[in-house]
Structure 1
Amino acid sequence: MKRCLMSSIGMMALLAGVLTATGLNPAQAADRARASAAAGAATPQAPIQALYKALDLSEHSSAGVGKRSAMIAPVVDRAFDMDAILKRSVGLHYDHLSPDERSSLIAAFKRFTVARYASTFKPGTAATFTVAQNSVEDGRTIVHTTIGNKNDPANAATPIDYVMVQGPDGWRIVDILLDGHISQVAAQRSDFKSIFSQSGASGLARTLTKKADDFLTE
């Protein structure tokens, strides 16, 4: 599990948007993030653009990790289809969870995701990104982006692609592909399924909660 989670952290550490530095306080930043999240996802690119803007607010903020999490949370909630990601990560057993078990597991996974972003995109992060057009590959809608570092322009930017699915609430992320082909869902599937088989949904939720707590400790 540790190897998988650290791999995911490394993937997320490449994700950031350096737009215009702001002087917003945490409450104002959170309001702006909520506004971005509420704007909808009329195009496949929209959730990713909103996510990058939220990460930009985080890395330009002087707030602590807890308040940065509050900035990021509404956009993560809007951008990702957590239910679909967990279903693919856990496997067939996910369909047999009770409503309470599923709700608790989704909440823990969401908190883990938000905390990981807030921990990675701390003040001073110098990431740069581009969001390109989407394509359809093997029946999947994929939005292509590249992530670089303005302090290290000599190194080529890394491709980070997003697999998108359109639902009643618009487009949402169901997987992230590093270097255009390394699936985050596939990378975490083995560990998630192993923990689930040993200790069920509650055990996986506890593991994700503990990792989120670690991220939120500065």
Structure 2
Amino acid sequence: MSMKSISLRAGLVLGLGMTLLPAAGITPLAPAALAQGAPASAVSAPVQALYAALDKVQHAHSSFAERSQIVGAAVDQAYDLDAVLHASIGLRYQSLTPDDKTKLLAAFRNFTVARYVSSFKPGSDARFTVKPGLENSPVGGNKIVNTYIGAEDSMPGTPLSYIMHNDASGWKIVDVLLGESRISQAAAQRSDFSSTLASGGVSGLITVLDRKVKTFSND
């Protein structure tokens, strides 16, 4: 495996140096259950749009800020970031004031966008594959879109699955599952986010996220 493949795989471990946990209600290596009802194209469309943006920026030799605008628009379309943030914080989220939630969500969005832009910088040459069909999620009517991201010499690449929730604005990503063991991004972030909130409050977590954005932009 090339150094590019190793770097790409490392970039997919999304978070703040987090403890890795399996997704709640998801059995690692469970066989896929074919989803019923929802048209696969509608459910996977946000993931397809996100991957199109990531492919575009890794071939665009433009500034970090310009690439962030491209990825930011795709993240806004693909994700329910409020739901992801809520899951990443846990019960403590309910006690936050509306103003704190708004400020924290803005910082979390910037962090999410910057992390993607840093992981898929120009020359990354990642290949994005969305598997046909869907899985039913154990949670409500959620669906799972299964994909792979890999380099040319490591195809099909790292499994990456997206838990999709349908609301008034359409299908949105509410969690990301990494690898064969299906590590939940939200669950993995929860211990880091919760401990930072407990020690430094909302301002402390925002400071950590802003610092991460600065680090990503300097990579």
Same structural fold, with TM-score higher than 0.5 when normalized by the shorter chain = yes
Aligned counterparts of 1:129 and 1:122: Cα–Cα separation in 2: 14
Count of residue correspondences: 183
**Structure 1 residues 135-158: Cα deviation after superposition (integer angstroms, max 9, x where no partner):** 1032441001112211x14x5522
Give the distance between the partners of 2:11 and 2:83, measured in 1 at CA.
20
- Structure 2 runs not aligned, ≥5 long: 1-8, 15-39
Instruction: Tell me the CA shift for residue 100 of structure 1.
Output: 1.2
The aligned residue for residue 21 of structure 1 is: none
Deviations 1:95-143 (A, max 9, x none): 1211111011000000011111111111111111211221103244100
- Secondary structure of 1:11's counterpart equals coil
Match of 1:205 in 2: 206
Residue by residue over 1:175-200, the C-alpha shift from the partner in whole angstroms, topping out at 9 and shown as x without a partner, is 11112411111111101100011111
Cα contact 1:42–1:170 (8 A) shared by 2: no
Which residues of structure 1 form unaligned runs of 5+? 1-6, 13-40
- Residue number in structure 2 paired with 1:189: 190
Contact 2:151 2:157 in 1 (8 A): yes
Partners of 1:8 and 1:184 within 8 A in 2 = no
Partner residue, 2:166: 166
TM-score, structure 1 normalization? 0.78
Q: Is residue 2:187 matched to residue 1:178?
A: no
Counterpart Cα distance in 1 of 2:178 and 2:134:
16
In the TM superposition, residue 210 of structure 1 has moved relative to its aligned partner by 1.0
Q: What TM-score results when the alignment is normalised by the length of structure 2?
A: 0.78
Moved over 4 A (4+): none
Higher-RCO chain (CA-CA 8 Å, sequence separation at least 6): 2
Question: What's 2:18 paired with?
Answer: none
RMSD: 2.1
Alignment of 1:54-65 (within 5 A): 54-65=53-64
- Is the Cα contact below 8 Å between 1:42 and 1:171 reproduced in 2? no
